[in-house]
Structure 1
Amino acid sequence: MAITEKMDARGGDASAIALLLLLLCACFLTTLACDGNGAKFGYSGSLGPGHWGGLDPNFTRCAMGTYQSPVDIKTREVAYNPMLGPLHRDYTAANATLVDNIFNIALRCEDAAGTVQIDGVKYKLDNIHWHSPSEHTINGERFAVEQHMVHFSEDGNISVVSILYRLGRQDPFLMQLQDKLSELYVEACRAEKGAPIPAGVVSLWPLRSYANMYYRYVGSLTTPPCTENIIWNILGRVREMTMEQAAALIAPLEEGYRRNNRPTQPLNGRTVQFYGRFWKKKRNGTP
């Protein structure tokens, strides 16, 4: 299935390297990432992804799970499913807070920020966080940044909407957070990390577009405890952000967490589905 032309992957690894070079003067902290129980994990060495499964009894799924994320999406092997329909997302403006989680930067939504509807079930947006470079890849191509929008249903199930970014034009959504990310960076460079930074009212409307083409599969969280049965939706259109915006998303993190992507995991027989509103007509050669 040739969908590659729709996924403009320019500046993948090169973009990631460029934005990391921009941070040579950033402060260096030594704090290790911890989950809610205080168990440590990292992205290199003895605490890296290859060792997560043995770091804590709650992390065994990271090593033993068969439905793990992220994955490499091979566009010629995905299954076109017109029954999926456009990804219905209903976002608005909401009060939010920027948080340095040690292993990533997150925007926590304090108010009802909106929902995504999956198979007739509404999932409420809880937080947005970023990985650099991207965790998911398309035909082996890695992108500069990946944004995860984490949603919860009323019964506790999770669905993530993923947006891939290359370096280029300014991203209007991130423009709202520019000053607050700078404040978070200042806090991170102090001897002790400060409190979360209130971001005020943030409009999520710029994130509602480009839902007419996406990939879906069942996977896991990409950080410990690597919980499975997560519904992933990776938007098919790669967006852009500037190098400065990409750098701001990792500047507050200590050196060992500025490259915070888990390696891709085997599909183990899973099928990645694809929905594209205009794809079928193009495949049949009709206008």
Structure 2
Amino acid sequence: MLLMASQLSIVFSLSLLPGIASAIDVFGGMEFSYLGKDGPDRWGMLEPKFAPCSIGKRQSPINIQRNLTVHNKLLKPLTRNYNSVNATLFNKGYSVGVRFEEYPGDLWINGKNYSLKQFHWHLPAEHQIEGQQFAAELHLVHQAAVDGSFAVIAALYQESNADPLICRIIEGLKHLGGENTTVPLGILNINELNRRSRKYYTYVGSLTTPPCSENVIWIILGKVYLFLQCWKKKKV
């Protein structure tokens, strides 16, 4: 298990739907863009509360360099408790993800509880390891009720055979329309995403979209998973 020693470098990438210029963040109604005059280089100037995007000191994502990490023997395996719940596939324009109609479960870090809010993908991945770009990145977004801070578990994927749970979700993509549309998925067993997590990188960073708030504990799973060819087929 590793603890990031410092912020390394900022990596901006287009998300799942790079053709969509305008977007709205996951937890609010704040508009921004990945393209043109409102793109990532100018996010910090769009609204005063977006300022951390330009002047923040702990911005995410980063390029993880193993020689700059510190082995922390005090870190414990992640404690996650997920349930089978009704779920809905959503299209936010800049990403596609899944939200829940019931309580999906939680994550405990240092005695603090974070509830799972949703999960979504970025294609290609946002984080890098030793400068390597991965095919996709899954974010499980958790939030603490006590102070509103976030804990995001990120899994990196390379292309290979399909993941059954995510293939089921991807099957719903053909029924998903444009921005701000949804498709019910029925019952999902979220525990299928509860990967063994004894080895991981962790650091304190930010949301990767405006307002780029620096109140996020990032947990990057050390194992790189096999990316779903079923998704690749849907893209073609």
Question: Does TM-score exceed 0.5, indicating one fold?
Answer: yes
**Preserved contact between residue 125 and residue 137 of structure 2 (Cα < 8 Å):** yes
**Counterpart check, 1:131 vs 2:122:** yes
1:67 Cα deviation after fit: 0.9
Structure of higher RCO (CA pairs closer than 8 Å, 6+ residues apart): 1
**Preserved contact between residue 218 and residue 229 of structure 1 (Cα < 8 Å):** yes
Which amino acid letter does the alignment assign opposite residue 81 of structure 1? N
Summarize the alignment of residues 141-180 of structure 1 with structure 2, pairs less than 5 Å apart.
141-155=132-146, 156-180=148-172
**Counterpart check, 1:75 vs 2:66:** yes
> Distance in 1 between the 2:115 and 2:233 partners?
28
Q: 2:111 aligns with which of 117, 120, 125?
A: 120
Summarize the alignment of residues 269-280 of structure 1 with structure 2, pairs less than 5 Å apart.
none
Q: Give the aligned CA root-mean-square deviation in angstroms.
A: 2.6
**Preserved contact between residue 90 and residue 180 of structure 2 (Cα < 8 Å):** no
Deviations 1:65-119 (A, max 9, x none): 1111001110121110111111111212111111111111120122111111101
More helix by share: 1
Structure 1 residues 177 and 37: CA distance shift in structure 2, 3 A: closer
- In structure 1, stretches of 5+ residues that fail to align are 1-15, 252-287
Q: Secondary structure at the residue paired with 2:151? A: strand
**Preserved contact between residue 95 and residue 109 of structure 1 (Cα < 8 Å):** yes
More strand by share: 2
Which amino acid letter does the alignment assign opposite residue 173 of structure 2? L
> Distance in 1 between the 2:233 and 2:53 partners?
28
**Counterpart check, 1:206 vs 2:189:** no
Q: TM-score, normalization: structure 1?
A: 0.71
**Preserved contact between residue 159 and residue 232 of structure 1 (Cα < 8 Å):** yes
> Distance in 1 between the 2:118 and 2:39 partners?
24
- In structure 2, stretches of 5+ residues that fail to align are 1-12
Q: How many residues align?
A: 222
Q: TM-score, normalization: structure 2?
A: 0.85
Q: 2:210 aligns with which of 209, 224, 241?
A: 224
> Distance in 2 between the 1:178 and 1:136 partners?
22
Structure number with bigger Rg:
1
**Preserved contact between residue 170 and residue 242 of structure 1 (Cα < 8 Å):** yes
> Distance in 2 between the 1:112 and 1:246 partners?
31
**Counterpart check, 1:48 vs 2:34:** no
1:38 Cα deviation after fit: 5.3
**Preserved contact between residue 39 and residue 56 of structure 1 (Cα < 8 Å):** no
